Amino acid sequence: MKMPRSAPPPAPSLSWAYFLDVDGTLINIADTPQAIVVDTALLELIASLHRASGGAVALVSGRMISDLQSRIGLSQLPLAGLHGLERRDSTGRLWIHA
């Protein structure tokens, strides 16, 4: 059976926001959570997307924000840790769900 050809994805728009999953998506799963390898080229790509999108990039992780921050740097990025129970906005303000 021949599958219909899908249309190519739309061109990026400045009206988009990007929410990027970290562990297992941007960074490969490792034997232990501490053993992950964060590639500098990846960090440069994320920083470039952050600039090109006018700051509309956030990283999402199951890790605590403090752990994520210590591994990736990029202090200007909004982060969601513990699957959204912790959030850091673009001003650096931390929100922690009770």
* Active-site option among 21, 31, 39, 67: 21
Active-site residue 21, yes or no? yes
CA-to-CA separations, 71 to 4, 7, 12, 17, in angstroms, rounded: 42, 37, 28, 23
In 10 A of CB 68, how many CB atoms? 24
Reference 17, options 74, 71, 59, 68; nearest CA is 59
Q: How many residues comprise the chain?
A: 98
Could you tell me where the DSSP H helices lie in 1-64?
Answer: 40-52
Catalytic positions: 21
